A and B are shown apart, each in its own frame.
Chain A
Amino acid sequence: MARFAKPAEGTWTEHYPELGTGLVSFADSISPEFFRLEREAIFKRTWLNVGRVEQLSRAGSFFTKALPGLGASVIVLRDTEACVRAFHNVCRHRGNKLLWEGTPRDETRGNARQFVCKYHGWRYGLDGACTYVHQEKEFFDLRKDDLRLAPIHCDTWAGFIFVNLAAEPLQPLREYLGAMVGALEDYPFHEMTERYSFRAENNSNWKVFSDAFQEYYHVPPLHTHQLGPTPEAQNPEYEFEGAHYQLDGPHRMVSTSGTHKHNWPAEHLYPAEALTRSGSTGPWDAPDLGATLPGVNPSGIPRWGIDNFQVFPNLEILIYERRWFVTYRYWPTSHNTHVFEGDLYFVPARNARERLAREYAALTFKEYGLQDCGTLDGTQMGLEQGAFDDFPLNDQEILVRHFHKTVGEWVAAYAARSSERAEEPTR
């Protein structure tokens, strides 16, 4: 029995009639051809999050970021005008990867006034302009003033840095993010600068993994232990329920009712939870950032727990009631592999007690995340077996339904544009 009211139509899914209620195909998650189309249609044309502005603390701060599956490394930097810019991490001379540390497969970060290519010593300023060519007179008709690093469209919103690999993005970033995601603009993300970063290489399609994190239907069966050590705590009907769902263009969100463990009796807690006053919902003692925070819990559900924003295509922002947030990014590297990046952000710990509470939350994230990674391997295998063509989704899985529909629409629109171009007469 649902504890929260559904829309007038009776279900969230029927509230958005364009979704339908029929069986859903996951053929989009097992096809090498669809993977290639998706890369062109979506990943080379949408805004992709590559980090936060706090990673660029002053003029000349930079980091490089691999875009797994896209065969690209980008330099993201703060220039002398405090503007965040991005360039392909490639030297204009002979195409060498410009910045790396350790091996060229690795990325780097730091602070610089200029960038020097390790290969032939060409140099570039923070504006991407070439400032020095070794033995310049040896070249033919070289106009150094025209030599630049290749720029990439780059913009920021609420401190999140996005790049867009298209020659001309279809929409500016803020327009692309729309009203629902845009409402988070003034959320105090910038206060939460203490970061724990995780990376995984998973044996599943990126959407299969993302699907697991846009429904809470799987939590009681798969993550039984997460709820607590006692049968009462592990009651599958208890806690954790998607209370409000919202769609806005290609983006989607769900608000959950909370598991407010800070109010639980001790017998339903693990001893380490009670010791650290922390766990899967984060450190219990939330920093004081004001009573209400902008943009979150848009429907005002009581006992709010988490807002889960799915920013198309591959960014998830999880905002917790206890004043911390998490981002997930999924980078497809083939039809059945992807790179997963998870980042946890906290208001910085002021002492060892607060640090331990964050450490326990970060541990908890990994323990239960491993159950998701391990299981999704099996989902991919099952889908590829081809025993079934399509699958039933319930009302709590509305975001899964919307996600696959949206991906399909972007790929279809791209294919239609491509075939139009192919049919244009050559001049």
Chain B
Amino acid sequence: MSDALLPPRFIEMERWAATWCLATEPQRWALRLNSSMAEMQAFYDAFFPRAEDAIAHCEQFPLDDMPADAERLLQLLYSLLMVSYAVEVWKQPEVINSGSARIDRILEPRP
């Protein structure tokens, strides 16, 4: 019995899955703010080239009936987008010029 979290085709992403497969935006947001740019850049560099493949894998299934490994892959894609703002736009974990402000996401569709 394998204890892989992700679909077999994405085995090279297993090392990121335990950390970045998170179900909600508040969890992903908190992790981004508590991660170093080096960690996020490494995750981004490893996963972005596979992202289109991962989307193609996830979109085979109905959203309300996804296999657990595909749902975790979707969560990993959500984290990639979360990290992309730090990597592509701000070059730091925090939003530039956001001061002490916070905005909480209190409702979102699942998964």
Which residues of chain A have a CB within 8 Å of any CB of chain B? 194-200, 202-203, 222, 225, 229, 270-272, 275-276, 340, 342, 348-353, 355-356, 358-360, 362-363, 366-371, 373-375, 377-378
Contacts and interface: CB of A to CB of B under 8 A. Distances in A.
Contacts of A271: 48, 84, 88
A272 B48 CA distance: 9
A198 B104 CA distance: 5
Contacts of A373: 98-99, 101-103
Please classify the interface of chain A as helix (H, G, I), strand (E, B), loop, or mixed, using the class held by over half of its residues.
Answer: helix
B52 interface: yes
21 contacts: A195-B107, A196-B107, A196-B108, A198-B103, A270-B84, A271-B84, A276-B81, A352-B70, A355-B63, A356-B74, A356-B77, A363-B85, A366-B105, A367-B85, A368-B95, A370-B101, A370-B103, A373-B103, A374-B95, A374-B101, A375-B99
A375 B111 CA distance: 33
A197 B104 CA distance: 8
Contacts of B61: 351-352
B43 interface: no
Nearest to A342: B103
Contacts of B103: 198-200, 340, 342, 366, 369-370, 373
Contacts of B80: 272
B68 interface: no
Contact of A353 (B48, B59, B66, B99): B59
Given A362-B108, A370-B103, 5 more contacts: A199-B104, A203-B100, A340-B103, A350-B63, A367-B95
Contacts of A200: 101-104
Given A197-B107, A272-B88, A366-B103, A359 B98 contact: no
B96 to A, nearest CB: 7
Given A363-B82, A374-B97, A377-B99, A352 B107 contact: no
A196 B105 contact: yes
Contacts of A368: 95
A375 B52 contact: no
Interface in B35-83: 48, 51-52, 55, 58-59, 61-63, 66, 70, 74, 77-78, 80-82
The 4 closest A-B pairs by CB, nearest first: A374-B99, A373-B101, A352-B58, A197-B107
Nearest to B66: A352
A363 B95 contact: no
B106 interface: yes
Nearest to B95: A370
A367 B29 CA distance: 11
A363 B86 CA distance: 12
Nearest to A346: B109
Contacts of B106: 197-199
B90 interface: yes
Contacts of A199: 103-104, 106
A349 B59 CA distance: 11
B18 interface: no
